[in-house]
């Protein structure tokens, strides 16, 4: 019988040293499997590894992979933090702490939005621990050639962080995915409950953005250092991180391919979960 994973059944914590502090970091771990896939979530209020990737865990574990979802500091059940440096590199350092604590060797990384930035920062700083990369809607900072910055979605995220109401959540989610008909009242309420459960996360994200507006610095000039095989996935209708960022990635990385989903927003792994899961499994097994 196939193991059915739950958030509660896979929930774990680890203490990781960051600067002068010990951070209690939450992660989900399916524990068995020779190769390890780590999934890194985005930066929206109320986000978590489980919320971002709950449609993608089962196919990977059934194919024999161990899946780990790390909640970055400042999200979900992990400790909160005010960050005045690079959020991408902070998350990369915390992931290195998790890799060391679990005695992992090389990991595949799937990163969505902020998680894509974190995955690239990790690959630059700790290449000895990286196998394959999958980047979705994020990976390097900087402006867009075609879209006024900050993008429309980023403005709506900022509004929701400052004023976490159902109205502002629905306003953000209205452009988060292409087809909003699958967004239920139950999903909205669950997300708002997650947001309101940790007002310290919201307040500290706003303080962090005020201390350093460039939380996700442009590392485009260093992309050529990354030799790992990389699958880049984007939604054509992404209104949070414009699609031409994906083109910059495929141009800068040594060994990368880019797949663009038509009629898709910022959440490819959720909007087109079945196709995304098939692509990831094929890429992990066969490469580019």
Active site residues: 266
Token digits for 101? 């604590």
Cβ(272)–Cβ(261) below 8 Å: yes
Which whole-number Å values give the CA distances from 142 to 91, 150, 210, 216, 230, in the listed order? 18, 10, 18, 8, 20
**Rounded to whole angstroms, how far apart are CA atoms 104 and 68?**
11
Render the chain in DSSP notation, one character per residue: -PPPP-HHHHEEEEEEEETTEEEEEEEEE----SSEEEEE---STT--HHHHHTTTHHHHHHTT-EEEEEPPTTSTTSPP----S-HHHHHHHHHHHHHHHTT---EEEEEETHHHHHHHHHHHH-GGGEEEEEEES-S--S--SSS-SS-HHHHHHHHHHHS--HHHHHHHHTTTSS-GGG--HHHHHHHHHHHHHTHHHHHHHHHHHHH-S-SS---GGGGGG--S-EEEEEETT-SSS-THHHHHHHHHSSSEEEEEESS--S-HHHHTHHHHHHHHHHHHHH--
Sign of CA dihedral 22, 115, 179, 206: positive
């Amino acid at each position: 019988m196939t193991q059915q994973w739950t958030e509660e059944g896979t929930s774990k914590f680890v203490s990781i040293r960051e600067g002068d502090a010990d951070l209690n970091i939450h992660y989900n771990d399916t524990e068995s499997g020779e190769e390890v896939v780590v999934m890194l979530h985005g930066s929206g209020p109320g986000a978590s590894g489980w919320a971002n990737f709950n449609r993608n865990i089962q196919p990977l574990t059934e194919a024999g992979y161990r899946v780990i979802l790390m909640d970055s500091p400042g999200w979900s059940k992990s400790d909160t933090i005010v960050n005045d440096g690079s959020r991408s590199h902070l998350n990369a350092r915390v992931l290195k702490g998790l890799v060391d604590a679990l005695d992992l060797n090389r990991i595949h990384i799937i990163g969505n939005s902020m998680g894509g930035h974190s995955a690239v920062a990790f690959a630059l700083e700790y290449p000895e621990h990286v196998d394959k990369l999958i980047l979705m809607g994020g990976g390097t900072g900087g402006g867009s050639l075609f879209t006024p910055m900050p993008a429309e979605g980023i403005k709506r995220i900022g509004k929701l962080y400052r004023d976490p109401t159902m109205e502002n959540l629905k306003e953000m989610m209205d452009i988060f995915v292409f087809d909003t008909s699958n967004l239920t009242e139950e999903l909205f309420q669950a997300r708002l409950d997650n947001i309101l459960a940790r007002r310290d996360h919201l307040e500290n994200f706003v303080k962090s953005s005020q201390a350093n507006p460039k939380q996700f610095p442009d590392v485009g000039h260093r992309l050529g250092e990354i030799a790992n095989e990389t699958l880049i996935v984007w939604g054509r209708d992404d209104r949070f991180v414009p699609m031409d960022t994906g083109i910059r990635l495929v141009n800068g990385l040594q060994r990368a391919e880019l797949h663009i989903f038509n009629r898709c927003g910022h959440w490819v792994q959720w909007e087109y979960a079945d196709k995304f899961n098939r692509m990831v499994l094929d890429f992990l097994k066969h490469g580019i």
